[in-house]
């Protein structure tokens, strides 16, 4: 190893610690590869995390880069793609939401997730969906912009309910002309960009002009809009901010867990915050410094995300390479403020408090869930040596009077529901309403290839358990893993009975059993997952089949009809003349469609 270290260059780059079976243990960047990699093997007392990693290193690989900023980018890409065990990894399965104002002649407000384009205007990102919906509600109350689909907008013949309650100006039926609507859109855009005072002043000026012209009803509408806007701004305790756009980042570390709280300010308004808990934090523990955690978060979060002009951070000095990379991403100067004053200080204090509260909540929930897992293992006689690895799979069947039968499989492991591993099974080839046949099919399909978990929960009593026993016997699987959850009197939680396939007597743990509470939680999640899938499948079948049954309505005509009228309900509400106006639909066919749908 010393000979290898001596050959390393004194240049910036990325180093990779490789363990047994070519497992990637850690990725790091360095301004000087030789000094940085050698520091791991110098005399001294490394942290427990580093010592644990060094014991497992079998070889080291390096990549030289032109600059430290380039090394940071490469390091970030490797961490995201390979998820090394000893790196802190921030995962967010969903992209951040935006508020979109479309490029339509009469633009609409849209809640949006996904890539942005140049055809529409986007505001955000927002920390969560609730913040976007609250912003849309504000814009509806104050500026009365539409939210309906373009297909619905194009086919309205009278104002909708939103117009009647003062949430839309009804441009679909000509209640407002294009110029006036465009003025409202422009005011909404300026409001989102932080020009609150200018927008209020403009509304007041328009109100006075309408009153002077003796158009008192129009003046009253503008007065009400001003009142709604003033009310919104008064609720925003931190809206008088010097920065139009800023992100605030605070870190809390305790009990082997790490929480990073990100608060967002857009257009001078505090939109809320989001708490994130990095993967592999247990290996890092409290030994990881706040600077390392914050650097990892900033590098991973802003890779592909808009960088605001101001970052307010929790007392950590900026890494020069990280700051250079951020400014390259933003295309402008980015302020890194670690000793904020005034309103910025209030932002940071609030972010710190929210980080501590979120961390305390997670630690409490983890402790409670681990206790439930241990109680479950003890109740059922499972091995409780490694509770974190205990895997439970639960099955449920759902249908409506035999229609759209669907089965679900949900997974519990690592003391939590593993949503990415859930599966749905469309059940075919059975008599409608035959739950036993549906359960037989889903178990055969699941365990024909998938490994058997520690525990298989079946939502049902002795009949369902007997079906599961037969399937497992045919597949040569251990029937002692099967446990049925039979509902109690009145289907009340806490009165369930556990039924076994291996001849053990049924158990009624009682309403105060922690194990039964965990079983009920998993069973209810399986039921929720099954019924939502069944409803979606049923709705899809019903909406498409009624058009498919009509002779002369093929896939292309059906697509045109749905696009024009926005769905089956819109088609049913259309007249024969409206139907005949669709390309490819003759008068005769329009009359047949109308007759079949009514």
Q: Looking at 513, 538, 563, which one is the last position of a domain?
A: 538
Q: Which position has the higher pLDDT, 469 or 492?
A: 469
Q: Is residue 543 part of a domain?
A: no
Q: Are residues 275 and 230 in the same domain?
A: no
Q: Is residue 241 part of a domain?
A: no
Of 153-167, 241-255, 302-316, the range with the lowest mean pLDDT is: 241-255
Contacts of 65 (CB under 8 A, 6+ apart): 11, 12, 13, 14, 71, 74
Q: Looking at 361, 381, 414, which one is the last position of a domain?
A: 361
How high does pLDDT run on average in the chain? 83
Q: How confident is the model at residue 473 (pLDDT cuts 50, 70, 90)?
A: very high
Q: Which position has the higher pLDDT, 116 or 375?
A: 375
Residue 47: the pLDDT is 66
pLDDT tens per residue, range 198-218: 777 887 888 888 888 888 887
**CATH classification at residue 276:** 3.30.420.10
Q: Which position has the higher pLDDT, 217 or 539?
A: 217
Q: Is residue 64 part of a domain?
A: yes
Q: Are residues 212 and 324 in the same domain?
A: no
What's the average model confidence in pLDDT over 564-579? 82
Is the pLDDT score of 21 beyond 70?
yes
pLDDT tens per residue, range 87-101: 877 765 556 788 899
Q: Is residue 347 part of a domain?
A: yes
pLDDT tens per residue, range 419-464: 889 998 988 888 877 889 999 999 999 998 889 999 999 998 899 9
Q: Is residue 373 part of a domain?
A: no
Is the pLDDT score of 240 beyond 80?
no
Please tell me the total count of domains within the chain.
5
Residue 185: the pLDDT is 92
Residue 247, judged by CB atoms within 10 A of its CB (0-12, 13-18, 19+), counts as buried
Strands 109-112 and 257-266: what pairing? unpaired
Residue 217: the pLDDT is 80
pLDDT tens per residue, range 322-362: 888 899 888 889 999 988 888 888 889 989 998 998 888 88
Strands 423-426 and 403-413: what pairing? antiparallel
Residue 281: the pLDDT is 55
Is the pLDDT score of 392 beyond 90?
yes
Tokens 């036993």 found at: 436
Residue 239: the pLDDT is 43
Residue 92: the pLDDT is 58
Residue 46: the pLDDT is 64
pLDDT tens per residue, range 510-520: 878 888 889 99
Q: Quick count: other Cβ atoms within 10 Å of Cβ 508?
A: 14
Strands 246-254 and 310-313: what pairing? parallel
Distance separating alpha carbons of residues 465 and 467, to the nearest angstrom? 5
Distance separating alpha carbons of residues 561 and 555, to the nearest angstrom? 10
Q: Are residues 336 and 408 in the same domain?
A: no
> Which structural domain range is residue 466 located in?
391-538
Q: Are residues 479 and 402 in the same domain?
A: yes
Distance of CA 29 to the CA centre of its chain: 30
Task: Find residue 112's DSSP bridge partners.
Answer: 98
Q: Which position has the higher pLDDT, 281 or 136?
A: 136
**CATH classification at residue 532:** 3.30.420.340
What's the average model confidence in pLDDT over 533-552? 69
- Using a pLDDT cut of 70, give the percent of the chain over it: 91
Query: Contact at 8 Å (CB) between 252 and 315?
Result: no
What's the average model confidence in pLDDT over 43-52? 70
Q: How confident is the model at residue 542 (pLDDT cuts 50, 70, 90)?
A: low
Residue 547: the pLDDT is 72
Is the pLDDT score of 304 beyond 80?
no
Q: Are residues 356 and 318 in the same domain?
A: yes
The 3-class SS string of 150-217 reads HHHHHCCCCCCHHHHCCCCCCHHHCCCCHHHHHHHHHHHHHHHCCCHHHHHHHHHHHHHHHHHCCCHH
Q: How confident is the model at residue 555 (pLDDT cuts 50, 70, 90)?
A: confident
pLDDT tens per residue, range 54-83: 888 888 988 998 888 888 888 888 887 888
Residue 442: the pLDDT is 92
Residue 242: the pLDDT is 53
What's the average model confidence in pLDDT over 382-402? 84
Q: Looking at 214, 235, 256, which one is the last position of a domain?
A: 235
- Using a pLDDT cut of 90, give the percent of the chain over it: 18
Q: How confident is the model at residue 270 (pLDDT cuts 50, 70, 90)?
A: confident
Largest pairwise CA distance in the chain: 91
Of 80-84, 126-130, 196-200, 478-482, the range with the lowest mean pLDDT is: 196-200
**CATH classification at residue 38:** 3.40.1440.10
Is the pLDDT score of 285 beyond 50?
no
């Amino acid at each position: 190893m010393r000979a290898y270290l001596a050959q390393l260059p004194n240049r910036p780059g990325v180093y990779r610690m490789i363990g047994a079976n070519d497992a990637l243990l850690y990725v790091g960047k360095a301004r000087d590869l030789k000094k940085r990699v050698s520091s791991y093997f110098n005399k001294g007392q490394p942290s427990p995390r580093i010592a644990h990693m060094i014991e497992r290193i079998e070889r080291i690989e390096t990549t030289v880069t032109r600059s430290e900023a380039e090394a940071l980018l490469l390091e970030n890409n490797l961490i995201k793609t390979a998820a090394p065990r000893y790196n802190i990894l921030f995962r967010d399965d969903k992209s951040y939401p935006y508020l979109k104002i479309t490029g339509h002649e009469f633009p609409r407000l849209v809640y949006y997730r996904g890539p942005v384009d140049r055809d529409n205007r986007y505001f955000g990102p927002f920390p969560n969906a609730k913040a976007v919906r609250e912003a849309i509600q504000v814009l509806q109350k104050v500026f009365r912009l539409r939210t309906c689909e373009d297909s619905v907008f194009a086919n309205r013949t009278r104002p909708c309910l939103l117009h009647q309650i003062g949430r839309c100006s009804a441009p679909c039926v000509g209640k407002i002309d294009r110029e006036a609507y465009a003025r409202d859109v422009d005011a909404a855009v300026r409001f989102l960009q932080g020009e609150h005072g200018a927008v209020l002043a403009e509304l007041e000026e328009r109100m006075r002009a309408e009153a002077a012209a003796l158009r008192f009803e129009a003046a009253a509408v503008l007065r009400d809009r001003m009142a709604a806007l003033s009310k919104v701004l008064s609720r925003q305790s931190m809206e008088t901010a010097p920065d139009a756009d800023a992100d605030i980042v605070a870190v809390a570390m305790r009990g082997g867990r790490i929480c990073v709280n990100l608060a967002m300010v857009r257009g001078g308004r505090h939109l809320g915050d989001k708490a994130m808990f990095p993967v592999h934090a247990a290996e890092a523990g409290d030994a990881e410094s706040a600077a390392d955690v914050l650097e990892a978060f900033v590098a991973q979060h802003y890779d592909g995300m808009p960088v605001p002009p101001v970052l307010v951070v929790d007392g950590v000095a900026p890494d020069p390479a990280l700051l250079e990379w951020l400014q390259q991403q933003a295309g402008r100067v980015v302020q890194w403020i670690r000793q904020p004053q005034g309103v910025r200080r209030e932002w940071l204090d609030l972010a710190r408090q929210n980080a501590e509260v979120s961390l305390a909540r997670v630690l409490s929930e983890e402790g409670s869930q681990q206790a439930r897992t241990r109680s479950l293992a003890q109740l059922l006689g499972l091995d409780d040596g490694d509770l974190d690895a205990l895997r439970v799979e639960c099955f449920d069947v759902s249908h409506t009077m035999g229609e759209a039968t669907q089965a679900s499989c949900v997974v519990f492991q690592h003391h939590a529901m593993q949503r990415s591993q859930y599966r749905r099974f469309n059940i075919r080839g059975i008599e409608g309403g035959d739950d036993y046949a549906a359960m037989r099919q889903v178990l055969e399909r699941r365990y024909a290839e998938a490994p058997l978990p520690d525990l298989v929960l079946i939502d049902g009593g002795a009949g369902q358990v007997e079906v599961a026993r037969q399937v497992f016997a045919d597949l040569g699987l251990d029937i002692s893993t099967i446990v049925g959850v039979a509902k109690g009197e009145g289907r009340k939680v806490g009165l369930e009975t556990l039924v076994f396939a291996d001849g053990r007597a049924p158990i009624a743990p009682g309403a105060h059993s922690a194990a039964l509470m965990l079983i009920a939680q998993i069973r209810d999640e399986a039921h929720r997952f099954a019924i939502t899938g069944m409803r979606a499948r049923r709705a899809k079948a019903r909406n498409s089949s009624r058009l498919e049954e009509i002779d002369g309505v093929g896939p292309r005509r059906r697509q045109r009809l749905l696009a024009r009228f926005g769905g089956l309900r819109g088609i049913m509400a259309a007249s024969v003349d409206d139907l005949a106006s669709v390309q490819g639909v003759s008068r005769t066919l329009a009359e047949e469609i109308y007759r079949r749908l009514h």
